[in-house]
């Protein structure tokens, strides 16, 4: 549940986090704003928060919109049932691009079942740099992109902290090269230039002993799923698979300090390598500081550790450091890329452990290029 902008400033969100608390005790703010962000609620009632979003860039013009999060418990009498949520996000630019997303995470009473669902649409340009762990900034090729994504998971608890289930969904990608002399058009090794539709289905396995799914202070989580993928329509000859494994561990060092570790591996299998299905380095959750898709290949491995300090009920700070890389066949320690940074947290719902976060991540400095970095504004922790 994150809103990510590489080297852009989401001004209104930053004001919402850091300026409004100064006026929270006055009548300058509407009652519903004070209720969403500043009033303490110790009950298990559902909560609703809205965040405006605004940014600008030469390729999009002004982008404006907002996001909304509704959080609730399916069983308000149980101390163990986890927080469920519905998240919506929509923006539009003055140049006609748009992004829409609706997702949900649903925990049944006593956490016996866990369901997730998401549907998203993107009509938005992005920079394509080629495939590999050492792409060049000079090769950046701006592509027009239209993408529809649908995803659904259903998991049942079969033992203490153990869940098994299914993952299913579909993807449709369409691309337009705005520079016919760029790497996207001229590099014959790039596969899947026309995009296409792909459906997937596969098993999932989860071990989850976290004490809280929104602000974890101790426990372990192992998630894994393998997606059998097959193209349809004009993409019918595409077959492959996608394996994702992620391990997280949390330790409560004291009442205020939490140490978290996160390791993730992604692997694409199959004879073909459509660029849009390859694992990509960099996001608001892992390898913060890298442009998502700057480095992509058939395999990805990355890890990070984060130290969290809860200064008060409302405010927290974090520091993080990590490393990762993408590769075709052979992993190389010498090719690992660094990342580090820090961030601030504002907990708008203390009872549920829900926060607004602002992170600044820094990556590598490649020869002849400026150091890679990014600002991230979102809802909830990175992991």
Tally the C-alpha atoms within 13 A of residue 213's C-alpha that lie toward its C-beta.
18
pLDDT at 366 over 70: yes
Cβ-based neighbours of 296, under 8 Å, separated by 6 or more: 131, 132, 275, 278, 279, 280, 281, 326
The three-class DSSP label of residue 326 is: strand
CA 100 to CA 87: how far, in whole Å?
11
Whose CA is closest to 166, among 158, 175, 156, 176? 156
Domain covering 2-379: architecture: Beta Barrel (2.40)
In this prediction, residue 5 has a pLDDT band, given cuts at 50, 70 and 90, of: very low
Count other C-beta atoms under 10 Å from residue 230's C-beta.
Answer: 16
Contact (CB, 8 A) for 68 and 98: no
**134-188 residue pLDDT tens:** 999 999 999 999 999 999 999 999 999 999 999 999 999 999 997 888 999 999 9
Cβ-based neighbours of 292, under 8 Å, separated by 6 or more: 4, 280, 281, 282, 283
**80-93 residue pLDDT tens:** 999 999 999 999 99
pLDDT at 9 over 50: no
Whose CA is closest to 219, among 265, 160, 167? 160
pLDDT at 341 over 50: yes
| Domain residue extents for the chain | 2-379
């Amino acid at each position: 549940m994150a809103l990510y902008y590489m080297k852009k400033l989401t001004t209104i969100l930053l004001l919402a986090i850091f300026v409004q608390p100064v006026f929270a005790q006055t009548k300058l703010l509407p009652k519903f704003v004070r209720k969403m962000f500043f009033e303490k609620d110790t009950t298990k009632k559902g909560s609703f928060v809205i965040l405006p979003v605004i940014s600008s860039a030469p390729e999009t013009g002004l982008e404006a919109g907002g996001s909304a999060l509704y959080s609730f418990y399916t069983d308000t009498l149980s101390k163990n049932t986890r927080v469920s949520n519905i998240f919506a996000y929509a923006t539009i630019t003055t140049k006609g691009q748009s992004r829409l997303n609706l997702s949900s995470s649903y925990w049944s009473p006593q956490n016996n079942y866990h369901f997730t669902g998401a549907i998203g649409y993107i009509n938005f340009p992005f920079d394509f740099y080629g495939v590999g762990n050492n792409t060049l900034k000079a090769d950046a090729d701006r592509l027009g992109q239209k993408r529809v994504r649908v995803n659904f998971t259903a998991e049942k608890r079969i033992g203490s902290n153990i869940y098994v289930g299914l993952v299913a969904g579909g993807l449709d990608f369409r691309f337009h090269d705005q520079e016919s002399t760029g790497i996207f058009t001229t590099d014959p090794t790039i596969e899947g230039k026309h995009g296409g539709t792909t459906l997937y289905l596969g098993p999932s396995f989860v071990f989850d002993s976290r004490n809280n799914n929104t602000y974890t202070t101790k426990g372990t989580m192992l998630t894994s799923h393998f997606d059998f993928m097959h193209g349809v329509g004009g993409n019918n000859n595409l077959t492959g698979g996608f394996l994702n494994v992620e391990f997280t561990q949390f330790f409560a060092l004291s009442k205020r300090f939490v140490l978290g570790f996160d390791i993730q591996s992604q692997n694409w299998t199959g004879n073909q390598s459509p660029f849009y299905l390859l694992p990509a380095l960099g996001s608001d959750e892992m390898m913060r500081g890298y442009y998502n898709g700057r480095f992509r290949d058939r395999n990805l491995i990355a890890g990070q550790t984060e130290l969290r300090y809860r200064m008060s009920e409302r405010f927290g700070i974090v520091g993080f450091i990590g490393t990762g890389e993408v590769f075709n066949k052979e992993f190389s320690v010498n090719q690992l890329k660094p990342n580090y940074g820090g961030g601030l947290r504002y907990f708008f719902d203390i009872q549920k452990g829900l926060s607004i976060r602002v992170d600044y991540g820094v990556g590598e400095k490649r020869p002849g290029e400026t150091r890679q970095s990014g600002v991230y504004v979102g809802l909830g922790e990175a992991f």
